Structures are given as C-alpha cells and as structure tokens.
Amino acid sequence: MSGADAAAAAGKAWRLAGGPSAFAALEILVRDGDRITATVAEPAGVLDWAADLSEAVSQHVSGLIERLTAPRPPFAGLPLDHPLIMGVVNVTPNSFSDGGDHVDPTAAIAHGKALSAAGAHILDIGGESTRPGAEPVPEELELARVVPVLRGLRGSDAVLSIDTRHARVMPEALKAGAAIINDITALSGDAGSLKTVAKSGAPVVLMHMQGEPRTMQDNPTYLHAPLDIYDFLSQRVEACVAAGIERSRIAVDPGIGFGKTAAHNAEVLSQLALFHGLGCALLLGPSRKSFIAHFSKGEAPKARLAGSLAAALAGVGQGVQILRVHDVAETAQALAVWRALAEAA
C-alpha cells in the first residue's frame, strides 16, 4: 500500500470523490459581496469551524464534505474508479480544430472507430460547431449530420454521446444509438431540453458557458470565475434533480474556453477540485483550446497536444473522472504513465 492508499488508510487523508486521489486539507472560500477570503484547514477543523458559526453553515459544510468524498457511481454504465477518455468526433465543416476533417459520415464513422480502438471509452458526436463566433445550425442539418454517424458507430466498444443543445435533436440521437447527452448550455438553452432528458432516462453532461457561441468571447467577466461557475452548475444540477434527473445521471463540465479568458481558464483549472462539491462526475475538456497557445507560442490548434496533455493531467490530479479530447492515443498513454507513477508513490 502506498501513496493515497496509505494516507487514506492511516486516516491522514480523505479520498477525493472515492477515487485514486486523496486530500489532507481543505481550502475554505468565503464570498462576501465582491470579496473572497481563503483559509486552509484540515477537514476535521473545517467541521469544527462550521459548527461554531451556525447550524445552517454546519449542515452546508458537512454536506459539501460528504459530496467531496463519496464514491461516484458508474456513469452511463462506465465505472469511474479510473479516468475515462471521451473522444471527439466533429461532423462539422467549421469546428475550431478539425472542422471539415470528418464531415463525411463515412470518414466520421472511421474516425470514431479509430478513436475507440485507441482507447476512447466514450465517443462524443457533434453536428454543430460551437467555437467562438460560430452561427447556429438548423436542427434538420444537425440531425442529417449526426444520425448516420451514430447509426454507424452503434454497437462499437465505446459508449456514444450526442453533443447538442437542441431538444429536438436529443431523442432522435438517442434512437440512433447515443446513450449520453452532452449539452453546452446545461439544459438551459432550449425550453424543452430539461423535460426531454428527464423523460429519456439518459445520463447528461451539464457544461458552463457564459453567453452563447457567437458572442461568448467578446468580454467574459466574472467576480471569481471558479465560484461563479460553481454556483451556476449547482443551480443547474438542482434544476435537473427537481425535474427528476438523478444526481447519479449527471456529469458537470466547467466549460474551458466557453466565455472565458485565458486567465479565467487558468483559475478554473487550478481549482477543479472545487467542483467535486456538486456530488457529480466531473468532465474536463481543455483539448486544443486557445488558452494553451496564449500561454505558449501561439500554436495552431493541432499543434497544441503537449499543452492539452498538461492540462488534462492537471485535471486528473484533482480527481477529474472524464477527459474530453481529440488526441485519444496520446492521452491514453499519458494516463497510463500517470497512473503507474501514482501507484508507485
């Protein structure tokens, strides 16, 4: 027994979301208007601190710690005891990184099968680009793009996900073979989405986005990006639960690159563990995003592999359970080495 296993067994650390990482201290963030104060304390000390304030605060904090530490149930039938890889299959002519590469259904199906063979546990099929400045796509066109690909990949080793923000597309995609709904608007962009997902029984990914794709990068502003995003996702999770979507069916995604500056993205990536307090699986999608080029040498999207892996491993170190990536084989190799080193520590 070594590393996190030994620390947890000795009572010196608590498991983060029941996974391979553990923590021995908590950072307490207190928001008072525009002012954020931070204090670091041991988990037991945090409980004592909360109990001294009020019963309401004590219950809130104990609930947070319970959600931070509770093992996550399988998501879409996939166990979350090790990081999962979600491979990107864009059936679009204008996605920021690979637009046009797989717009033909035959090419998209072949690409999806290759990603599955390379180690993808999930394939995320999208028919509408949501890169900065992108215009909306008619639902008929989105369906025409994704349904043949979903049908062609149905029965593959990977679980299929539909990347859509439109309620009309969701049930048709499920009929064609999708098992997961991945919505960049967290089921808030279409009045029918919440009811559709609740009725379907499908697991769902709720992503944060400030604004909408055409304008989201014009002037994104936050008081405190990680906490503002956490509050939004908390509200959306509660809305889903109230609509009949069990928390176990929900994954949350802080939405790297969606209505955020490079500085905002860095802040969020440095505090990803915060989002485990929502009690849901945590998905991260930093792959090939522009913040990598901002902090490096301005590389084009397909030249951002090293930065994508750095961000992905930073997320895994904070307990991220699902990585949404373009480069599946390289991510699988990086995870294999990360896991071996973690187990040897």
Q: How many CB atoms lie within 10 A of CB 67?
A: 16
Catalytic site residue 175?
A: no
| Cβ within 8 Å of residue 324, ≥6 positions away | 86, 88, 124, 253, 283, 284, 285, 287
**Helix and strand numbers, DSSP H then E, in the chain:** 12, 12
d(CA 61, CA 250): 21
State how far Cα 47 lies from the chain centre.
Answer: 29
Of residues 289, 297, 302, 339, which has the active-site annotation? 289
DSSP code for 22: E
DSSP H helices, the chain, are 3-9, 43-53, 55-69, 105-118, 139-153, 169-176, 193-200, 225-242, 262-270, 290-295, 305-316, 328-344
**Structural contact between residues 71 and 17, judged by C-beta atoms closer than 8 angstroms:** yes
Of residues 72, 145, 288, 324, which has the active-site annotation? 324
d(CA 29, CA 38): 5
Alpha-carbon Rg for the chain, nearest whole angstrom, is: 20
Q: Is residue 310 within a helix (H) or strand (E), and if so which, with residue range?
A: helix 305-316
Catalytic site residue 302?
A: no
Residues serving a catalytic function are 289, 324
